[in-house]
Structure 1
Amino acid sequence: MPERLRPALRLVPRSLLGRMLFLTLLVVLVAQALSSFIWLSQLRASQLDGLLTSARSLGQSMAASVSYIRSLPLGYRPMVLDQLRSMGGTRFFVSLNDKPLDMRVLPETPRKRAVLEEVEQVLRERLGKDVEMSLHFVGPDDLRLFNGGLKLDELPRSWAHYALTLEPLNPPVLVTQIRIGGDEWLYLASLLPEPYAGLEDQGLADQQLWFILITGAFLLLFIGLLVHWQSRPLKRLARAAREMSLGAEVEPLPEAGGSEVADVSRAFNSMRERISRYLNERSQLFSAISHDLRTPITRLRLRVELLEDEALQAKFSRDLDELELLVKGALQCVKDTDIHENIEPVDLDHLLQVLAEPYRDKVTLEGRALAPYPGKPLALRRCIGNLVDNALKYGERAHLRIEDSAEAFVLHVDDEGPGVPEQKLGQVFEPHFRLAGHKQGYGLGLGIARNLAHSHGGEVSLRNLHAGGLRVTLTLPRPAD
């Protein structure tokens, strides 16, 4: 897996409920984002059409105003404009100047450019293509109205504020300056009508955002309840599977839920019956073997005692001792691993202290368990006890160190012995395997410990230490809540 994908995958929840909610939220966000993008694109397209229509209407009104002022005699033009300003309520602020006024122009945006082009096109169609004019958008604070460069706030409110302010928004003002003859420039300043005065692209409305949030919340709640309801049989199945792996008696699962979940429960019940039947047959088989082998071995020992040849008698006795050792070892292995106990919380700190108590001078213990471990008390005691005994038997001293976390309980058992050759690390778990020079016991301790760890879903691993000695690590995963 590429390294760059691992941090992203860590964000994905591990539980079925968490993943379903995560995927549902992701789908909702993608769907809402796509629908909102389409809706917003259509809204902006319709707004642009409305804006251009308003711009054409504004251009028509400007052209009519320019034509009217042109039609007046030169001496009447200032008087008419003064009367219009005094009356108030006009759509434009209009003035006559002897030159175009210089003002700081606002930066162009696609919408502003479209309005300017549309208004200019209408004006040139109505007034002539050769007419000299300039069109710009200007901020209210930078607006100049007469030859003297007066600002908007320096004029009576009735003169210009009705046409050029839209408090508290203060949108940009469209300033059009057209030469109407000689040195006369007609100045027209106006706002675009609502809702286009701001010339800004509108985003999602608050109602649309609330609709997305409420819809997503209801969908997540519904999916969460549905997945929780459907996942309960799976949780029962996981709990029953773990208890069965620990050897506990498990009641048949109810075959409820969806058809797929019911099929899984039915298959688990069938598997449980087969495994239970197999374990019973195995126990009966080993009991029969134990009973059947003891009689012929005892009979053979009696016959060996009757042999006159002592050398031959010694050979037969060694063979019988080896045969009896193998039988006892096999039966001991089955006895130690086939422990029928109920699962209960085990205080591993107390268990380790009890195991280390008889060997105060030879066993050290470091670390503590965070919480009790749910398992079989006697099986765990035998598993850890075998590891400690093995360390003391072959390494004289045992150093125990606990590393506990929410995921697993880990116990390191270090000894001070010669270690194990690397090529034989995997063989020491095999029944009756003993290293050269080690003749004590049956050679089953590590194998039994690993089998007991496996029954708890754990593992036993070996590693030679650089400073000498062998490290045996017991890992017991903690069940998820």
Structure 2
Amino acid sequence: MSRNDNGAIDTGRKVWRLVPSSLLGRILLLTLLAMGVAQVASSVIWVGTFRAQQVEGLVNTTRNLAASAAATTQFFKSLPLEYRHIVLDQLRDMGGSRFFVSLNDNRIEMRALPDSERKQLVTEEVEAVLRSRLGKTVNLHVEFVHPDDLRILNTQLPLDALPKSWAHYALTLEPIKPPVLVTQVEVAEGDWLYLASLLPAPYVSLDDESIPGQQIVFILVMIGVLFPVLAWLVRRQTRPLHKLARAARDLPLDEYQPPLREQGSAEIVAVTRGFNAMRRRLQSYISDRDQLFRAISHDLKTPITRLRLRADLIDDDTIRERLESDLQELELLVKGALQSMKDTDIHENVELVDLDGMLRKLADAYMGDPPLVVVEGSCAPYRGKPLALKRCLGNLVDNAVKYGESAIICVEDSPEQVIIHVRDHGPGVPDEALGRIFEPYYRLGHEHRQGHGLGLGIARNIAQSHGGELEISNWSGGGLEVTLKLPRH
């Protein structure tokens, strides 16, 4: 695998860690993402449609405005020269018209607004309409100017220098200052008709409008209202799942423990009902198992004792020794079976367990110079069954010291799980025997050692009862490595 692949995998893992682990958190995150994507998509579609409608309206308005400008130009070109200024004076006395109109000796130069898509669209449309109405050879100039840069008449006066009745009616829109469309057409040599006007509302801006503020407020208000309501509903529906998970983790099998309350959705009620039925069956099974093993223990002790007494009466020493050996083996098997039942007992309730203290006490039992058991690392308290965990860890350490002469215990802790490695310095286990190491009474050629071959099987049963696992492998340092993984629920 390449370095880039490793980097991509690490990045993916980091991103995945940011995702909430709880059902409530994931549902809320997915809902928030879905709402956000839906709102963004609808807003993009809405804005696209809105802008298209605005452009269409702007083009139609521009054509009407250009047609009016062309009609005004044609009107002034048809007037005799001596009447043109009279008409202009009358227009000013009347308060102006749609355009501010003047006749100038030359074209007035003004600072134009920066180029934009809408500005280019409007100016090209005005020029096209004027040339189609006035002739393609007409000399004209169309430009947008900011009101502060607007210059009027031959003297190039600013807008504020003119009487308000002359131009402010057509060229101002308080309190904003929209751009002014200035069209200058040469109607005769040395005479330029000056037409200035505003684009009619709502097309008073040449900038592309973003998402309107009210649309953003609407999105935020909708998310602010729906998200808490959804969080409350999801939390209400998942609360029974939390109780069910806690009951399944702790699994109190007390005979008098009341069943879980069946509440929530139909699916959660069905799961809760199934859990209650499962616990009742487990209680019945454990009760029957206890009675069975008590009966076995009681019924076997008496004939074994009777057989021992009868064996003492046998005169043949060889036969007597063989019989006593068989009886001793039978008694060990019975004790081993009873001990296995006791060590994997699940009556114990769950509580916080100090694994650090438990491991160090186990190590103190093998004090020496150097110590036979060394503990490396530490972990936070773990919720589990204390006596069962003590038996599990005790079996692992006993096996390591018994078959490997010394042990190293390495503890790794994380929010997800506790991992405990028990490593010895023994001969290890052949690969073909690793699959059978957990079988009862399987002792891998160590018949001269004391024990019944049940320790690792009991330890794995205890690990599995906590939702964990026990793994065995040969490690590079020489010897056997037993890895106990306990999840933090």
TM-score bracket for the superposition, by shorter chain length: 0.7 to 0.9
What is the rounded CA distance, in whole Å, between the counterparts of 1:378 and 1:432 in structure 2?
23
**Matched-pair contact (CA < 8 Å) for 2:110–2:149:** no
What is the rounded CA distance, in whole Å, between the counterparts of 1:19 and 1:375 in structure 2?
27
**C-alpha deviations, 1:63-86, integer Å up to 9, x for none?**
233123213334665686688789
**Matched-pair contact (CA < 8 Å) for 1:103–1:138:** yes
Aligned to 2:466: 456
Aligned to 1:401: 410
Residue 397 of structure 2 corresponds to residue 392 of structure 1: no
Residue 284 of structure 2 corresponds to residue 277 of structure 1: yes
What is the rounded CA distance, in whole Å, between the counterparts of 1:270 and 1:332 in structure 2?
29
From 420, 432, 435, give the equivalent of 2:441.
Answer: 432
Aligned to 2:329: 322
Aligned to 1:199: 206
Structure 1 residue 425, shift from structure 2 partner: 2.6
Aligned to 2:188: 181
Distance 1:299 1:11, change over 3 A: same
**Matched-pair contact (CA < 8 Å) for 2:151–2:158:** no
Mean CA deviation greater in 384-393 or 98-107: 98-107
**Matched-pair contact (CA < 8 Å) for 1:55–1:118:** yes
What is the rounded CA distance, in whole Å, between the counterparts of 1:398 and 1:86 in structure 2?
109
Matches within 5 A, 1:97-246: 97-98=105-106, 106-109=114-117, 111-128=118-135, 131-137=138-144, 153=158, 156-158=161-163, 171-244=178-251
**C-alpha deviations, 1:181-234, integer Å up to 9, x for none?**
335443434331232121233333222221211111111111111111111211
Aligned to 1:350: 357
The one-letter amino acid paired with 1:18 is G
**Matched-pair contact (CA < 8 Å) for 1:409–1:475:** yes
From 278, 296, 301, give the equivalent of 1:294.
Answer: 301
Structure 1 residue 476, shift from structure 2 partner: 1.7
What is the rounded CA distance, in whole Å, between the counterparts of 1:8 and 1:416 in structure 2?
40
Aligned to 2:58: 51
Residue 446 of structure 2 corresponds to residue 472 of structure 1: no
Distance 1:108 1:231, change over 3 A: closer
Structure 1 residue 134, shift from structure 2 partner: 4.0
Aligned to 1:337: 344
Aligned to 1:422: 431
Distance 1:286 1:176, change over 3 A: same
**C-alpha deviations, 1:263-301, integer Å up to 9, x for none?**
111111111111111121122222222233333434444
**C-alpha deviations, 1:347-403, integer Å up to 9, x for none?**
222222322223233222233322x22222222222222222222222222222322
Structure 1 residue 241, shift from structure 2 partner: 1.0
The one-letter amino acid paired with 1:402 is V
The one-letter amino acid paired with 1:455 is S
From 27, 30, 39, give the equivalent of 1:23.
Answer: 30
The one-letter amino acid paired with 1:199 is L
Mean CA deviation greater in 395-404 or 179-188: 179-188
The one-letter amino acid paired with 1:433 is Y
Aligned to 1:257: 264
Distance 1:399 1:11, change over 3 A: closer
The one-letter amino acid paired with 1:367 is G
Pairs aligned (count): 473
Q: What is the TM-score of this pair, normalised by structure 2?
A: 0.84
**Matched-pair contact (CA < 8 Å) for 1:106–1:139:** no
Aligned to 2:455: 445
**Matched-pair contact (CA < 8 Å) for 2:147–2:159:** no
| Structure 2 unmatched ranges of 5 or more | 1-7
Distance 1:467 1:7, change over 3 A: closer
Aligned to 1:36: 43
The one-letter amino acid paired with 1:445 is G
What is the rounded CA distance, in whole Å, between the counterparts of 1:468 and 1:86 in structure 2?
110
The one-letter amino acid paired with 1:254 is R
Matches within 5 A, 1:347-386: 347-361=354-368, 362=371, 363-370=373-380, 372-386=381-395
Q: Please provide the CA RMSD for this pair.
A: 3.4
Mean CA deviation greater in 166-175 or 64-73: 166-175
What is the rounded CA distance, in whole Å, between the counterparts of 2:188 and 2:112 in structure 1?
25
What is the rounded CA distance, in whole Å, between the counterparts of 1:220 and 1:476 in structure 2?
36
